[in-house]
């Protein structure tokens, strides 16, 4: 195993202009582990209820996701219901039932504790700190968070941020966390709190990567039809840390390469509902998009005259 992913496992009801699904497989640990699994070997830590389908468990296992850390508790699985309108960048929540996730305390199996790469998906920062207390050999820890934790548990969040190598947030969260309007200044502020790196996601406009004194800019992969953007951010994070774990070294070059992998996996996710597009992708399909994004971003300037 290369990566431990700690996050939610959910059942989602989602409605978009392209259709709708009910009780579909979702959650940050699910999207990120399926994405990471195309580049490395992930294991997840999470909780489900008695209503969680055995078929979903078999599906995750069939993708070589280690399930030793997935607890089955009395009660119902975390359930989210929401919808998107024409602007697929905005999710509207209709209902959230935390159910067994409300009392979730991560239990890290012994065989997970020395895994070098860790993704702390979007959960209570107190729980994220508890996970780090248990891990014994963390070479690289990626942390995700959201506006709710920034607003309600800022002190706890800042404590765990100080302990990780990289933070991944969207542009609004970066501004909220740092108090800076300019994203470069926001990233520098976050780095000043302890992490060596920051990824600021900008949705359909790509992402900006900051590592120590370096930075990189990456566009989103162009997708002509978007059916369901749910889980795209988690898919990005999973592909990113999966590719990084495969390269086994962390510098601005490998981080950019890993971000390309994350971008590509997210581009597949949005093409169908739930995790359907992440299942059974062929190596050729993934590599073709790697080549395509390289062509799109490999811009060399023409020989231009510059006048003073």
What are the domain boundaries of the chain?
Answer: 3-297
Q: What is the pLDDT of residue 248?
A: 76
Percent of the chain's residues with pLDDT above 90 = 90
Quick check: 302 pLDDT over 90? no
Quick check: 301 pLDDT over 80? no
Residue 39 pLDDT level (bands cut at 50, 70, 90)? very high
* Structure-token pair, residue 42: 């992930």
Residue 90 pLDDT level (bands cut at 50, 70, 90)? confident
Q: What is the pLDDT of residue 148?
A: 93
Quick check: 4 pLDDT over 70? yes
Q: What is the pLDDT of residue 67?
A: 97
Closest CA to 43 of 104, 100, 115, 106: 115
Q: What is the pLDDT of residue 137?
A: 83
CA–CA gap between residue 181 and residue 147 (Å, rounded): 15
Q: What is the pLDDT of residue 280?
A: 86
Residue 279 pLDDT level (bands cut at 50, 70, 90)? very high
Residue 299 pLDDT level (bands cut at 50, 70, 90)? low
**Mean pLDDT, range 95-118, rounded to an integer:** 96
Among 58-67, 86-95, 177-186, 272-281, which stretch is predicted with the lowest mean pLDDT?
86-95
**Mean pLDDT, range 295-300, rounded to an integer:** 78
- For the beta sheet containing 10-16, the strands, ordered from the edge strand earlier in sequence to the opposite edge, are 19-26, 10-16, 78-83, 92-97
CATH architecture of 3-297: 3-Layer(aba) Sandwich (3.40)
Quick check: 295 pLDDT over 90? no
Q: What is the pLDDT of residue 204?
A: 82
Quick check: 140 pLDDT over 70? yes
CA–CA gap between residue 249 and residue 152 (Å, rounded): 35
Q: What is the pLDDT of residue 30?
A: 98
Q: Give the residue, 73 or 205, on which the prediction is more confident.
A: 73
- Which tens digits make up the pLDDT trace of 152-162? 999 999 999 99
User: Measured between alpha carbons, how far is residue 285 from residues 40, 61, 276 in Å?
Assistant: 17, 22, 15
**Mean pLDDT, range 217-222, rounded to an integer:** 91
Q: According to DSSP H, which parts of the chain are helical?
A: 28-36, 54-62, 125-134, 147-152, 154-161, 171-178, 183-192, 232-247, 252-269, 283-297
CA–CA gap between residue 246 and residue 191 (Å, rounded): 25
Q: What is the pLDDT of residue 186?
A: 97
Residue 241 pLDDT level (bands cut at 50, 70, 90)? very high
Summary mean pLDDT of the chain: 94
Quick check: 47 pLDDT over 70? yes
């Amino acid at each position: 195993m290369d990566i431990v992913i700690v996050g939610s496992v959910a059942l989602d009801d989602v409605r978009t202009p392209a259709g709708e699904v009910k009780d579909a497989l979702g959650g940050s640990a699910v999207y990120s582990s399926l994405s990471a699994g195309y580049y490395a070997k992930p294991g997840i830590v999470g909780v489900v209820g008695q209503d969680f389908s055995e078929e979903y468990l078999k599906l995750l296992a069939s993708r070589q996701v280690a399930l030793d850390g997935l607890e089955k508790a009395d009660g119902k699985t975390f359930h989210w219901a929401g919808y998107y309108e024409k602007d697929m960048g905005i999710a509207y929540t209709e209902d959230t039932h935390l159910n067994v996730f409300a009392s979730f305390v991560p239990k890290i199996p012994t065989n997970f504790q020395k895994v070098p790469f860790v993704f702390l998906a979007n959960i209570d920062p107190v729980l994220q700190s508890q996970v780090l207390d248990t891990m014994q050999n963390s070479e690289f820890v990626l942390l995700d968070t959201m506006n709710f934790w920034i607003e309600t548990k800022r002190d706890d969040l800042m404590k765990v941020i100080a302990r990780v190598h990289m933070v991944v947030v969207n542009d609004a969260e970066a501004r909220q966390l740092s108090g800076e309007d300019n994203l470069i200044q926001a990233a520098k502020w976050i780095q000043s709190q302890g992490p060596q790196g920051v990824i600021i996601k900008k949705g359909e406009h790509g992402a900006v990567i900051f590592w120590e004194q370096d930075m990189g800019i990456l566009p989103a992969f162009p997708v002509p039809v978007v059916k369901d953007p749910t889980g795209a951010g988690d898919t990005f994070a999973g592909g990113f840390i999966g590719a990084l774990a495969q390269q086994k070294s962390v510098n601005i070059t490998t981080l950019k390469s890993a971000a390309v992998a994350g971008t590509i996996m997210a581009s597949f996710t949005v093409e169908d509902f739930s995790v359907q597009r992440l299942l059974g992708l062929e190596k050729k399909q993934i590599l073709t998009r790697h080549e395509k994004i390289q062509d799109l971003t490999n811009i060399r300037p023409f020989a231009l005259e510059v006048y003073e």
